[in-house]
Amino acid sequence: MALDRKTKTLASTIGVVAFMGAMAWASVPLYNLFCAVTGYGGETGRAESADAEILDRTIKVKFDASKERGMPWEFKPQQTEMTLRIGEEGLAFYEAYNPTDRVVAGSASYNVYPFDAGSYFIKIDCFCFTEQVLQPGERAIMPVSYFVDPGIVEDRDAKHTNHITLSYTFHEIDLPEDYQQAALSDKTDGETVN
């Protein structure tokens, strides 16, 4: 009877650990999905170009960068803020550096503050749209082109916004399959056959 209870406790503990591991693995995609569906976290819009009217009102955009715990890269914005007219296209750059001796892949999640302004912050092109892979010792300059939609001045909650903060967090992800195959190929090429 005591063994049965110990077995159940062990099975329950293993189940909890497995569940927590699965939730940690899925947290970034689930957060991005949650933000896209609810608009929470200042989910931004996307456009092909900044074809909006340019207003005679400026807004300050601040840039922030962070990394998930365990992400080995160095990651920072190249500018801390920019001032541009509402509707005008802006171009900002972030820098990532891989100081390790291994290839590291990363994916950036983002949010905009204040949240009410998120839907008016429109990205035209961004490094966050795709995964990034850095070789050992590689440094990358990554652009984000954007504009603030003039509709912000008509929104009762967002029209008094004077500044917007764009924040990125880089997370380490599994290497894309082609990098995994190349690494495997390099290992087999180095082996000698007897």
Same-domain status, 32 and 58: no
19 in a structural domain: yes
Same-domain status, 165 and 78: yes
Same-domain status, 85 and 2: no
- 165-191 pLDDT, tens digit each: 999 999 999 998 877 666 555 555 555
What is the C-alpha to C-alpha distance for residues 48 and 97, in angstroms, rounded to an integer? 29
pLDDT-derived band of residue 66, with 50, 70 and 90 as boundaries? very high
Q: Which long-range contacts (CB under 8 A, 24 or more apart) does 151-157 make?
A: 151/120, 152/59, 152/86, 152/117, 152/120, 153/55, 153/57, 153/86, 155/116, 155/120, 157/116
Q: Are 72 and 98 in contact (CB under 8 A)?
A: yes
Same-domain status, 143 and 129: yes
Per-residue model confidence (pLDDT) at position 42: 46
Q: The domain containing residue 18 runs over which residues? A: 1-38
- 12-28 pLDDT, tens digit each: 788 777 776 666 655 55
Same-domain status, 56 and 140: yes
Q: Are 139 and 36 in contact (CB under 8 A)?
A: no
CA atoms within 13 A on the CB side of 178: 1
For residue 94, give the 3-state DSSP assignment.
strand
Per-residue model confidence (pLDDT) at position 5: 80
- 83-134 pLDDT, tens digit each: 999 999 999 999 999 999 999 999 999 999 999 899 999 999 999 999 999 9
- 28-48 pLDDT, tens digit each: 555 545 444 444 444 566 566
Per-residue model confidence (pLDDT) at position 37: 42
Same-domain status, 47 and 129: yes
- Token pair for 106: 């990363």
- If one compares 50 and 76, the residue with the highest pLDDT of the two is 76
Same-domain status, 33 and 54: no
Same-domain status, 165 and 134: yes
**CATH value at residue 128:** 2.60.370.10
32 in a structural domain: yes
- Whether the predicted pLDDT of 3 surpasses 80: no
Per-residue model confidence (pLDDT) at position 105: 96
